Amino acid sequence: MGHYHYDCDEYCDECLPVGENSSLVEYDMGEQDSPANCCQCHRPLDYSLTQEGVKYVLGHLKNCIKNGIDWNIYDCYVGSYYEGMPHCAVVRDWAFELKNYFLTEEEEEIVDKFLELTKEVGNWHNKTKTN
Ligand SMILES: [Zn+2]
């Protein structure tokens, strides 16, 4: 998925309201401090994280493990990529992405723990995506 900046928001190819060659659109190739999701459909966008960004996601995963996984299904995802999915599905995609980065053994354990705790989501995804 592409990752575009337009009018202070982030969009995927499909939701970008103007042509991608418009002078108002900027294609994102840089590193950033947090994961990116399309502001319209919430689909995860291509991004690469800075070290700060990796720390941010790890911190988030740690909080989820400590305070409980958020299995709520929120209305804001209706009609979007995550429709009918629990909130932790979004974070789970971030966690998968982290596997592409260099992590210490301890950090790797945090990611694996989170993925283990949310593995139910995997089935969920398949259920909603096969039709
Ligand atoms: Zn989109």
| CA 63 to centroid of ligand 1, rounded, Å | 27
| CA 105 to centroid of ligand 1, rounded, Å | 34
Task: Say whether pLDDT at 2 is over 50.
Answer: yes
Task: Say whether pLDDT at 8 is over 70.
Answer: yes
Task: Say whether pLDDT at 129 is over 80.
Answer: no
| CA 11 to centroid of ligand 1, rounded, Å | 5
User: Which residues crowd ion ligand 1, with CB under 5 Å?
Assistant: 12, 15, 38, 40-41
pTM of the complete model: 0.87
| CA 66 to centroid of ligand 1, rounded, Å | 31
Looking at residues 95-112, what average pLDDT do you find? 96
Question: What local confidence, expressed as pLDDT, does residue 122 receive?
Answer: 78
Amino acid making up residue 129: K
Per-residue pLDDT reduced to its tens digit, 74-92? 988 889 999 999 999 999 9
